Amino acid sequence: MNHPELQQRTFMLLLMAVSIAFVYVISPFFGSVFWGIVLAIVFAPINQRLLNAMPGRKNLAALLTLILCLVVVILPLTLISGALLQQATTVYQKMSTGDLNFGAYFQQIVSALPNWMVRILERFGLADFAAVQDTISSGMTQGSRFIAAQAVIIGQNTFDFVIGLGIMLYLLYFLVRDGVMLTGRIKQALPMSSQNLHYLFEKFTTVIRATFKGNLIVAAVQGALGGVMFSMMGIGGALLWGVLMAFLSLLPAIGAALVWAPVAMYLLATGEIVKGVVMIAFGVLVIGLVDNILRPMLVGKDTRLPDYIVLLSTVGGMALFGLSGFVIGPMVAALFVASWTIFILRKDVIEEGPRMDA
């Protein structure tokens, strides 16, 4: 081994070591850094339009972009989260005092079931209604208790929340202002052809924008429609159920139905036939169509990922990374598909670069 090769390997080891150390140092603020990057990518086109309207005023354009992000995304989410936690705490208190008993609701549904349906339940080992009732009651109680506990934790950790939010906004400003320069530096450092890098970076940014904007729009529309429907039906905690529906609608195809379908079944089983039929019709024809029409237009069309990959990557991402997973999962899936596309077309990569339309 000659001396230059030893120096090169030593430097590469040093580079890897300090990079790992840097990631470890900033890991406590992973959420702030991640969402700062996501929001910077999502709002980059708006910042570019502002720059075109006011050439040479990078600082002002970045500041206006940051203010717009605060008004459009962060402030509404903060207000909704506060109202949600307050309503969830109220629901938990009602369950604790016995004013709200999901076990009793389940028993009403069971009592209204025909014999043939009871026999079907027996085949699946669900004939022990008392045990199922206890499980449902316990699950709902634990879920409400968890949400109420989060309200207390958030109240106790307000300082940490403010620090994390401040770091995200501070980072967002510089990422928006210097994003093009930073992207160029990263591309320059990576040992890949410019064509492959352009393909991967384009896929990366496209998936983040499509997933973030598309999923949030679909979730907001489905949650709002669900909340209005529950309120018109006279069901308590309409905001809570609407937000829960919005959160679950991050799961393609099945998410929102996990909320309105059981409620519709309860209404039918307890004699509220008209309300139950109206809720099913509204859920299928209105809320369901939002998912079937908007999601492919806003998410699938841009990411060019099959629905089953979007579903699996979203569920897997949220299982591993929590709420951030609805962006991380599809992003990893898209980069996986893009990388394998380049690998499969490696002959073209060597000769003339990958065919991007493949």
Amino acid making up residue 122 = E
Instruction: Specify the pLDDT at position 23.
Output: 87
CB of 242 closer than 8 Å to CB of 224: yes
Q: Where are the domains of the chain?
A: 28-189, 193-358
Instruction: Specify the pLDDT at position 6.
Output: 78
* Separation of alpha carbons 36 and 42, rounded Å: 10
Instruction: Specify the pLDDT at position 264.
Output: 81
Which residue intervals of 233-324 are DSSP H helices?
238-248, 257-269, 273-282, 288-295, 301-303, 307-321
Q: What is the DSSP letter of 324?
A: G
Q: CB neighbours (10 Å) of residue 340?
A: 10
Q: For Cα atoms 21, 27, 32, give the angle at the middle one, nearest 5 degrees.
A: 140
Instruction: Specify the pLDDT at position 349.
Output: 47
Tens digit of each residue's pLDDT, the chain (358 residues): 556 777 788 888 888 899 899 888 888 888 888 888 888 888 988 888 988 888 888 889 889 999 998 888 888 777 776 666 666 666 666 666 655 555 555 555 556 556 655 566 666 555 555 555 555 555 555 555 555 555 555 555 566 777 888 888 899 999 998 888 888 888 787 777 777 788 888 888 888 887 787 777 888 888 888 888 888 877 766 777 777 787 777 766 667 777 778 778 777 777 778 888 888 888 888 877 777 777 666 665 666 677 777 778 877 887 888 777 878 888 888 888 888 887 777 655 444 554 544 4
Instruction: Specify the pLDDT at position 153.
Output: 53
- B/e letters for 239-254, b = 16+ CB within 10 Å, e = fewer, are bbbbbbbbbbbbbbee
Q: Which of 309, 307, 302 is nearest to 337 (CA)?
A: 309
* Separation of alpha carbons 282 and 209, rounded Å: 29
- B/e letters for 80-95, b = 16+ CB within 10 Å, e = fewer, are beeebbebbbbbbeeb
